[in-house]
Amino acid sequence: MFQYCAEPKTLEGLIWLSCYLTNEKHQLLYGSLGTVLLLMAIVAPVAMLFGFGGAVAARSHLLPVRLFGKGYTSMVRGIPDIIFFMFVPIALDQLFELIRHKIKCPDWTDAIWQGSDFVVCAEAKLPLSTSPQYVHEIYGFSLAVLAFSIVFGAFAANVLYGAMQAVPRAQLETAEAYGMTRRQAFRRVLVPQMWVFALPGLSNLWMILIKATPLLFLLGVEDIVYWAKELGGSKTSQFAYPHPDWRLFYFMALLVYYLSMTRLSEIVLGRLSQRLSRGQATFAGEQQRKAAR
Amino acid sequence: MSCWDTLLQYGLRAVGIGENLLPKTDFTLCQHVVLIGSGLIWNIYFGVLALIFGFFLANALALAKASANPLLRKPAEWFIFVFRGSPLFIQFFLFYETFVLLPRTGIEIPLGFTTITLATSWLTKAWAGALIVLFLNTSAYTGEIFYGALRSVPKGDLEAADAYGMHGWRKFRRVIWPTMMRLAWPAYTNEAIFMFHATTLVYFSGFPAFSQMGDSLYYATYFASKTFNPFIAYPVIAAYFICLTMLVIFSYGLVNTYLNRHLPQNMRTKIRLRPQVIR
A118 in helix, strand or coil? strand
Beta-bridged to residue A113, according to DSSP, are A118
Residue of B nearest to A165 (CA): B276
CATH class of the region A3-292: mainly alpha
Q: What is the reported pLDDT for B214?
A: 87
Q: Which H or E run contains A67?
A: helix A63-78
CB atoms within 10 A of CB A41: 11
**Span B234-249, pLDDT tens digits:** 999 999 999 999 999 9
Distance from CA of B162 to the nearest CA of A (A): 28
Q: Given CB atoms, is B274 within the 8 Å cutoff of chain A?
A: yes
Which chain B residues contact residue A159 at CB under 8 A?
Answer: 276, 278
Q: Which of A78, A86, A232 sits opposite B234 (nearest CB)?
A: A86
Task: Round to whole Å and give the CA distance between A220 and A93.
Answer: 14
Distance from CA of A8 to the nearest CA of B (A): 27
> Is the pLDDT reported for residue B276 higher than 60?
no
Contact A257, A224 (CB under 8 A): yes
Distance from CA of B165 to the nearest CA of A (A): 33
Residue of A nearest to B233 (CA): A87
Q: What is the reported pLDDT for B273?
A: 58
Which chain A residues contact residue B214 at CB under 8 A?
Answer: none
**Residues ≥6 apart with Cβ < 8 Å to A100:** A120, A123, A124, A126
What is the domain partition of chain B in residue ranges?
41-108+115-267
Q: Given CB atoms, is A201 within the 8 Å cutoff of chain B?
A: yes
Q: What is the reported pLDDT for A258?
A: 93
**Residues ≥6 apart with Cβ < 8 Å to A143:** A88, A89, A92, A93, A219
**Span B147-180, pLDDT tens digits:** 999 998 998 999 999 999 998 899 999 999 999 9
Query: What DSSP line would sit under B106-130, residue for residue?
Result: -EEEE-SS-EEEE--GGGGSHHHHH
Q: What is the reported pLDDT for B175?
A: 92
> Is the pLDDT reported for residue B19 higher than 90?
no
Distance from CA of A16 to the nearest CA of B (A): 24
CA of residue A60 relative to chain centroid, distance: 27
> Exposure of B107 by Cβ count < 10 A (0-12 exposed, 13-18 middle, 19+ buried)?
exposed
> Is the pLDDT reported for residue B203 higher than 80?
yes
Q: What is the reported pLDDT for A178?
A: 94
**Span B77-129, pLDDT tens digits:** 999 999 999 999 999 999 998 888 887 766 777 777 777 777 777 888 888 89
Low-confidence ranges of chain A (pLDDT < 50): none
Q: What is the reported pLDDT for B263?
A: 85
Beta-bridged to residue A235, according to DSSP, are A243
Q: Given CB atoms, is B193 within the 8 Å cutoff of chain A?
A: yes
Which site among A83, A161, A205, A256 would you substitute to test the B interface, given the most B Cβ atoms closer than 10 Å to its Cβ? A83
B206 in helix, strand or coil? coil
Name the CATH topology of B41-108+115-267. Answer: MetI-like fold (1.10.3720)
